[in-house]
Amino acid sequence: MSMETGVHYPLHLDALPKGWRAGYVGDFAKEIEPGFASGEHNQTGEGVAHLRPMNVDRDGKIDLSVTKFVSGSKDDRRLAVGDVLFNNTNSPDLVGKTAAVSVAGDFAFSNHMTRIRFADDVLPKFGVQQRSTADARLLLDQHPQLRSSRLPLEQASVSSRTLARGVPFVWGPPATQERIVAEIERQFSRLDEAVANLKRVKANAMHFGRATVEVLTSPGSFSTNVMGTVTDVAVSLDNMREPVNKTERAKRVGTIPYLGANGQTGWIDEARFDEELVLVVEDETFVGRKQPFSYYFSGKCWVNNHTHVLRARRDLVLPKYLNLALSYYPFIPLTTGSTGRRKLTKATLMSAPIRVPDLMTQQNIVAEVDRRLSIVREVEAEVDANLARAQALRQAVLARAFAA
């Protein structure tokens, strides 16, 4: 690809092509302002769409599929087409995500986002593309004012003043900006198509994996040895769970996995369990969930209160088979609570009907599932590697646009 800038970022005045200017974001913006903190969000569509950091993806696009709404007043700041949203508070690797508003609508924005209204001779997409380069992100990561003593260790923040006066920006003539934006978008459209195909392959692999588990553990595929409830084949160890927040775990650094509803979430210094366990989601997003409802773990661990803990009755069911049988169990009708975050109570879980084959059949099913899922894992690993290459190519496109 041939790009027409051939300039360094961050740029020095003596390195600029003729007609270019260098300065800071504030030198090329009419307005730089954060949004407002919301009250309670809703997903019903009532009120005003309130864009937050999760509405900006890593590729510089606004994702409205995860939009929540708030009761906004007429005085609250609104977004217009051409506004640029900058993620000002998040984990260090996500601060600085930037996207341009390209569709009209009644959008407000969070105080974790900063609205940049560039001067009329700056194309919003040009601003977004420049802010999205790896060099630009690295520069932001190294900024002395990125950290604040008032923030948790895992967060960073960029004030409007720092963005305006501490983040470099270069300007090219509008016609040159248009050519750069068009070339980058042409290259990105090819990458987007490739990424979409890769994601379809990964989704199909996931569907195959789920179908494998559901078919092989279906009661219609074997002769039933035990027909009863989960209580008949497993013992609940929920009384041994204990939640420990991040602050406390930071004081208890260790090598023991700390487990939650979706797997390991950290480490701790002490084990509450040391055996084969089946862990089942207790309170989480059940509706629309893509992950299994349960997972298998063996060894020393500590478990929080967001997942049920089961010990298989080994004379009746293998732990790995019990996990497969519960992975995609129809739990949703058995849960209580709101549409988003629902709860599966211990009593409901333990009284859920279940049918299992004899131990030899269970062992054969576990082996066959492992064999098929190993193929799925290989496909997913290859897809993930190619997705990483696509992201690297995306950065290479931006680098050639804004670097020598």
Residue 203 scores a pLDDT above 80: yes
- Shared domain check, 187 and 122: no
- Shared domain check, 377 and 340: no
Q: Please check whether residue 235 is in contact with residue 229, taking contact to mean a CB–CB distance below 8 angstroms.
A: no
User: What integer is the mean pLDDT of 288-317?
Assistant: 95
Residue type, 126: F
For residue 45, how many other CB atoms are within 10 A of its CB?
A: 9
User: What integer is the mean pLDDT of 226-245?
Assistant: 96
DSSP state of 17: P
- Shared domain check, 125 and 249: no
Q: Which domain holds residue 216?
A: 1-17+173-223+360-404
Among the candidates 319, 339, 356, a domain finishes at 356
Residue 136 scores a pLDDT above 70: no
- Shared domain check, 217 and 189: yes
- Shared domain check, 164 and 34: yes
- Shared domain check, 235 and 218: no
User: What integer is the mean pLDDT of 154-159?
Assistant: 75
Question: Strands 263-268 and 256-260: what pairing?
Answer: antiparallel
CATH code for position 165: 3.90.220.20
d(CA 17, CA 142): 26
- Shared domain check, 148 and 50: yes
Q: Please check whether residue 32 is in contact with residue 160, taking contact to mean a CB–CB distance below 8 angstroms.
A: yes
SS3 229: strand
- Shared domain check, 13 and 143: no
pTM above 0.75, yes or no: no
| Number of domains, the chain | 3
Distance of CA 311 to the CA centre of its chain: 31
Residue 135: the pLDDT is 63
- Shared domain check, 288 and 273: yes
The residues that bridge with 311 in the sheet, in sequence order, are 235
Residue 145 scores a pLDDT above 60: no
User: What integer is the mean pLDDT of 191-215?
Assistant: 92
User: What integer is the mean pLDDT of 374-398?
Assistant: 90
| CA atoms 376, 381, 384, 385: torsion sign | negative
Confidence of residue 5 (pLDDT cuts 50, 70, 90): very low
- Shared domain check, 333 and 288: yes
- Shared domain check, 251 and 344: yes
**What's the pLDDT tens digit per position in 106-133?**
888 989 999 999 999 999 999 988 888 7
User: What integer is the mean pLDDT of 344-355?
Assistant: 96
Residue 46: the pLDDT is 77
Confidence of residue 154 (pLDDT cuts 50, 70, 90): low
SS3 134: helix
Confidence of residue 362 (pLDDT cuts 50, 70, 90): very high
User: What integer is the mean pLDDT of 295-315?
Assistant: 97
- Shared domain check, 266 and 147: no
Among the candidates 323, 341, 356, a domain finishes at 356
